[in-house]
Every structure is written in C-alpha cells, then in structure tokens.
Amino acid sequence: MKLIVEKNVYSLEAVEKSAYRFIDRLTILISTDNENIICEIEVVEGAKEGIENLIANFKRELLDQQLRKQIKHETESARNLILAYAFSRTGLQG
C-alpha cells in the first residue's frame, strides 16, 4: 500500500527514522516528489500484527519522530554546552 505525507508537515528524516523503527515489521520504500514524501509499504513475512494496526502505529511513530526532531533542533546548543562542560579540563580537548 501507499502512504503519502506532506513535505511541509513531516521531514524526510522523520519518515526515514520511523521506517527504520518498523524494519522488523514493515518494508518501506521511500521516494519524494515536489510536495510529498511517498511510502510504499509491505508487511514483512511472519509479522504478528495486521497491516491496519501496523500502519496506525507507523503514523503515530511519524508524529513522535517529528517531535523528536523539533526537540533535538531546539536543544542543540544546550547539548553542545553540556558536553563542553563534561569534557572540560580532561586533557582531551587537543
């Protein structure tokens, strides 16, 4: 089946990460056009859940990944500062 998501709502990175998390249950081929990201989805042989349930969970994962991306982006400078404090005066700075 095909799942189409809008590029201005979801990033390609969020779609890729979601697809990776489902790698044991879904095989997802990702492509893009001007406005959309297109996911061609097949259920992996032997998967315990039905496709409807899997797709619903995949959509939830898309939201989570988009949120993770937002948090990561917003906290990037804090993360770098924490690491700078953590490794200051260790002699590892070069």
Binding site residues, other proteins, CB under 8 A: 17, 20-25, 60, 64-65, 67-68, 70-72, 74-75, 78-79, 81-88, 90
Q: How far is CA 7 from CA 12, 25, 33, 64, 70, in A?
A: 7, 24, 9, 16, 15
Rounded to a whole number of angstroms, the minimum distance from the CB of residue 57 to other proteins is 9
R_g of the chain, CA atoms, integer Å: 18
Instruction: Give the nearest distance from C-beta 35 to other proteins in angstroms.
Output: 26
24 vs 35, beta carbon nearer other proteins: 24
Q: Which is nearer to other proteins, 25 or 37 (CB)?
A: 25
Residues with Cβ within 8 Å of residue 24, at least 6 apart in sequence: 44, 47
